[in-house]
Structure formats: structure tokens, C-alpha cells
Amino acid sequence: METCDECGSMMSSMGDEWICRSCGFNYSDDPGASEDTIETVRNEKSERRSTQNELAKVRKKLKLVTNTVIPLSCPDCSEEGVSLEIQDNSSPEFVCEKCDYRWKPDK
């Protein structure tokens, strides 16, 4: 069974052609491909899966951070209890648990 180079989903074999069921990416088996070429492709796929697994672990850790209350005082209401919120493509923000005031950490 092959995995898609574009999206990582499982591919189906139709004769000498492999087609991704999810994104439609396809390629043909090359009967003249050398074992070195085939092994290189397998290694690249393995490295890509490894990188995707590492990214998933980092994302999981970041979610844990965002759910943690930090013992800091809010600059707006002076109450203690702040969470760190990290969103995709955005810099992190502190959020007061009491008044919902938001601010960026000092750099």
C-alpha cells in the first residue's frame, strides 16, 4: 500500500497507476526505476511521516500550555490568574481569567 506524496492518505492501485482517494494525486509505476530510486522515495516518505509525528507532538504540547493558568497578575484588573493563548499564525497572548483582558508578552 502506498501513501500519497501530497496529503499522506492511502492510495489505490489501478493497473500501473496509483491514485489518491482524498486529493486525486496520481503517478504511474515506472518499471525501469532502479532499487536505489525506490529506496530513496521510501526514505523520503518515512522522513516526512516522522516530521509529521513530531509536529503533532509539538501541537499537543502547545494545547497543554494554552489550558494552563499561570500565576501572573492582570495589568488591567490586578487579579491573579492568566492563561497563555497560542493560535495558528499568531503570536502568543496572555488572557486574564477574570476580566478577559488580552496582552502580548514582553519580548
Q: Kindly give the residue spans of alpha helices, DSSP state H, lying in the chain.
A: 35-66
pLDDT of residue 26: 75
83-to-56, 71, 102, 106 alpha-carbon distances in Å: 22, 9, 10, 15
How many Cβ atoms sit within 10 Å of the Cβ of residue 4? 20
Sheet holding 102-103, edge to edge: 69-73, 80-85, 93-96, 102-103
Global pTM reads: 0.38
Give yes or no for a contact between 17 and 29, defined as CB atoms under 8 angstroms apart. yes
Provide the residue ranges of all domains of the chain, joining segments of one domain with +.
11-58, 68-103
pLDDT of residue 66: 57
Write down the mean pLDDT value for the chain. Answer: 75
Higher pLDDT, 81 or 20: 81
